[in-house]
């Protein structure tokens, strides 16, 4: 029986069950609300509060404290699926370490991987790799250790999802997109004939179940459709599967997709999957996708934690050569240790020395120094955890800016008397808002741009092209509005 822990922006979910490579069985489900302000997009922002919550949860439900697999849906773990020659795990480890060595540069990074498929005819295998900074993994290990929990493995949400869907042969005959909601973010995983092809994560601004939310999901699908065309994928996307969303979303998303892309694409709520069983019938794959996927076994794999603490990319073949060269030195060292031990035994017979040592250890001042040292060591550890959390937050908070809510009103106000506008998308990494405007007169486009450019909230407004709608005589313009530093919070 395995235990999987999934941390999201809103909840801590713990599943007890098993996965045998062909199916997953879930026996028990435990959940607790994530403390506000303690966790943001995979970054631990308040270790002490999270430690207290985890400890209370484990004590309340008397959960196992060893052999835990932790699943995190975060961009801090880079996921890549690639084909490589078939080889055993040791050789695959060396091959992949060299493959990713240049990408890591001077950064201290850890690499994990697992085999998700083999082609015996071509003598190749498909591998899902995960790459993460040592400091990022270090934060999680420390938090769980302080809560009295030993983590066995750490995996990304996308990684376990790809392995899970591949093992269940989900939608193996069609091109499909699985869209997974986690709070205000949606991760879309694109499969071509059941094989992983592409994934993307986007932030949403509207609530699930609304038409506006369906429009945002439709925009994500449109991006994948355009990407698919640019990669010259032969067959079109046939099915869209939604998980973690409301029942109304499937209908609303289908309508939005029919209007913007094609009415041949089918949209489903993922409420059940062949090969997935829950002992409690009230639990569904729709609300527990990530932790359920984490229960599926990972054969032929090297987990991130197996290299934890090294702080560098390890070349196993070089390590083996160094080990062989070190054998003579190890033998000499053992001999020296034996001689040293003998001398220590002789020394220990000196009663006067022992008395001096005993007097030293019993000295009140020595004991006071030890107590003071322990207190300072604990304080240093506490401060170090906070510093690591703040450094991670500092390095990632700017990569996910949030525009102020007044931005929508400013854009719509600028279009008054000219036409209509819609905000299509927002790129959190660049601060770019995608805007589509419709005007009856082509000259109104420049007027609209001038109005937006005059606003302090925009660093610049880029005009990316326009076209005439022959059926209505209107002009359609596409704009990129880049937010100024003061426009986000």
Q: Tens digits of per-residue pLDDT, 134-189?
A: 888 889 999 999 999 999 889 889 889 998 998 898 888 889 999 999 888 899 99
* Cα–Cα distance, 332 to 129 (Å, whole number): 41
- Same domain? 199 vs 104: no
* Cα–Cα distance, 251 to 286 (Å, whole number): 16
- Same domain? 51 vs 149: yes
- Same domain? 287 vs 344: no
Give the pLDDT confidence score for residue 396 in this predicted structure.
58
Domain boundary among 368, 396, 424: 396
Each as own residue / partner, the long-range contacts of residues 61-65 (CB below 8 Å, 24 or more positions apart, any chain) are 61/14, 61/30, 63/3, 63/14, 63/30, 64/3, 65/148, 65/149, 65/150
Q: Is residue 147 part of a domain?
A: yes
β-bridge partners, 196: 191
Query: In this predicted model, which residue has the larger pLDDT, 355 or 437?
Result: 437
Q: Is residue 27 part of a domain?
A: yes
**Is the pLDDT confidence value at 125 over 70?**
yes
Q: Is residue 133 part of a domain?
A: yes
Percent of the chain scoring above 90 in pLDDT: 29
- Token pair for residue 31? 């959940």
Check if the beta carbon of residue 164 is closer than 8 Å to that of residue 296.
yes
Check if the beta carbon of residue 180 is closer than 8 Å to that of residue 244.
yes
Q: Is residue 10 part of a domain?
A: yes
pLDDT in tens, 65-117: 998 999 998 888 888 888 899 988 888 888 888 877 755 555 677 888 888 88
Domain boundary among 376, 396, 416: 396
- Same domain? 27 vs 85: yes
- Same domain? 349 vs 225: no
Q: Is residue 401 part of a domain?
A: no
Give the pLDDT confidence score for residue 313 in this predicted structure.
38
Q: Is 322 left (phi over 0), alpha (psi -120 to 50) or beta?
A: alpha
- Same domain? 132 vs 241: no
For residue 309, give its domain range: 1-168+278-314
- Same domain? 81 vs 127: yes
Q: Is residue 180 part of a domain?
A: yes
- Same domain? 327 vs 351: yes
What's the predicted TM-score (pTM) here? 0.61
- Same domain? 246 vs 194: yes
Query: In this predicted model, which residue has the larger pLDDT, 102 or 204?
Result: 204
Give the pLDDT confidence score for residue 102 in this predicted structure.
58
**Is the pLDDT confidence value at 385 over 80?**
no
Tell me, letter by letter, the H, E, C secondary structure of the chain: CEEEEEECCCEEEEEEEEECCCCEEEEEEEEEECCCCCEECCEECCHHHHHHHHHHHHHHHCCCCCCEEEEECCCCCEEEEEEEECCCHHHHHHHHHHHHHHHHCCCCEEEEEEEEEEECCCCEEEEEEEEEEHHHHHHHHHHHHHCCCCEEEEEEHHHHHHHHHHHCCCCCCCCEEEEEEECCEEEEEEEECCEEEEEEEEECCCCCCCHHHHHHHHHHHHHHHHHHHHCCCCCCCCEEEEECCCHHHHHHHHHHHHHHCCCCCEEEECCCCCCEEECCCCCCCCCCHHHHHHCCCCCCEECHHHHCCCCCCCCHHHHHHHHHHHHHHHHHHHHHHHHHHHHHHHHHCCHHHHHHHHHHHHCHHHHHHHHHHHHHHHHHHHHHHHHHHHHHHHHHHCCCCCECCHHHHHHHHHCCCCEEEEEEEEECCCCEEEEEEEECCCHHHHHHHHHHHCCCCEEEEEEEEEEEECCCCEEEEEEEEEECHHHEC
Q: How many CB atoms lie within 10 A of CB 102?
A: 8
Number of domains in the chain: 4
- Same domain? 117 vs 151: yes
Q: Is residue 383 part of a domain?
A: yes
- Same domain? 330 vs 470: no
Pick from 147, 141, 145: which is nearest to 51 by CA? 147
- Token pair for residue 410? 């400013």
Q: Is residue 322 very low, low, confident or very high in pLDDT (cuts 50, 70, 90)?
A: low
Question: Which residues, in sequence order, are CB contacts of 220 under 8 Å at separation 6+?
Answer: 179, 186, 188, 200, 202
CATH number at residue 158: 3.30.420.40
Pick from 188, 158, 189, 170: which is nearest to 6 by CA? 158
β-bridge partners, 384: none
pLDDT in tens, 269-279: 998 889 999 99
Q: Is residue 488 very low, low, confident or very high in pLDDT (cuts 50, 70, 90)?
A: low
pLDDT in tens, 443-476: 888 888 888 888 888 888 887 787 888 777 888 8
CATH number at residue 430: 3.30.1360.100
Q: Is residue 361 part of a domain?
A: yes
Q: Is residue 310 very low, low, confident or very high in pLDDT (cuts 50, 70, 90)?
A: very low
Give the pLDDT confidence score for residue 321 in this predicted structure.
57
- Same domain? 350 vs 463: no
pLDDT in tens, 328-383: 877 888 888 888 888 787 776 777 777 777 787 888 878 888 888 888 888 887 78
β-bridge partners, 126: 83, 117
Domain boundary among 396, 431, 446: 396
* Cα–Cα distance, 489 to 481 (Å, whole number): 17
**Is the pLDDT confidence value at 311 over 70?**
no
């Amino acid at each position: 029986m395995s235990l999987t822990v999934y941390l999201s922006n809103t909840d801590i979910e713990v599943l007890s069950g098993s996965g045998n490579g062909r199916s997953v069985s879930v026996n028990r489900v435990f959940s607790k609300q994530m403390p506000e302000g303690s966790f943001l997009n995979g970054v631990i922002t308040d270790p002490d509060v999270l430690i207290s919550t985890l400890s209370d949860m484990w004590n309340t439900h008397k959960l196992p404290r060893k052999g835990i697999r932790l699943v995190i849906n975060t961009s801090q773990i880079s996921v890549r699926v690639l084909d490589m020659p078939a080889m055993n795990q040791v050789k695959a480890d060396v091959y992949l370490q060299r493959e990713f060595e240049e990408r890591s540069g001077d950064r201290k990074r850890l690499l994990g991987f697992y085999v998700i498929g083999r082609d015996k005819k071509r003598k190749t295998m498909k591998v899902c790799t995960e790459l993460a900074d040592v400091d990022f993994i270090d934060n999680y290990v420390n938090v769980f250790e302080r809560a009295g929990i030993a983590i066995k493995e750490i995996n990304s949400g996308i990684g376990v999802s790809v392995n899970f869907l591949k093992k269940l042969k989900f939608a193996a005959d069609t091109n499909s997109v699985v869209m997974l909601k986690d709070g205000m973010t949606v991760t879309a995983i694109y499969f071509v004939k059941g094989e992983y092809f592409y994934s993307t994560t986007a932030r949403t601004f509207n609530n699930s179940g609304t038409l506006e939310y369906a429009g945002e999901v439709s925009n994500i699908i449109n991006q994948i459709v355009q990407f698919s065309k640019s990669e010259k994928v032969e067959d079109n996307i046939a099915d869209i599967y939604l998980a973690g969303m409301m029942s109304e979303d499937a209908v609303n998303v289908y309508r939005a997709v029919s209007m913007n892309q094609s009415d041949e694409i089918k949209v489903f709520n993922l409420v059940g999957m062949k090969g997935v069983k829950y002992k409690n019938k009230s639990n569904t794959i729709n609300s527990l996708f990530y932790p359920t996927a984490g229960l599926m076994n990972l054969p032929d794999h090297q987990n991130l934690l197996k290299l934890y603490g090294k702080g560098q990319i390890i070349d196993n073949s070089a390590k083996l050569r160094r080990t062989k060269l070190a054998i003579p030195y190890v033998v000499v060292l053992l001999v020296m240790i034996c001689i040293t031990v003998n001398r220590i035994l002789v020394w220990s017979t000196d009663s006067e020395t022992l008395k001096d040592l005993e007097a030293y250890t019993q000295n009140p001042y020595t004991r006071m120094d030890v107590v003071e040292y322990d207190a300072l060591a604990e304080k240093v550890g506490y401060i170090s955890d906070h510093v690591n959390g703040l450094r991670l937050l500092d390095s990632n908070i700017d990569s996910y800016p949030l525009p102020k809510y007044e931005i929508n009103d400013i854009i719509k106000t600028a279009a008054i008397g000219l036409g209509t506008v819609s905000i299509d998308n927002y790129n959190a990494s660049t601060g770019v808002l995608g805007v589509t405007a419709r005007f009856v007169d082509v000259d109104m486009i420049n007027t609209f741009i001038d109005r937006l450019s005059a606003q302090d909230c925009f660093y610049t407004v880029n005009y990316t092209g326009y076209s005439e709608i022959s059926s209505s005589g209107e002009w359609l313009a596409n704009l990129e509005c880049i937010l100024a530093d003061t426009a986000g919070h």
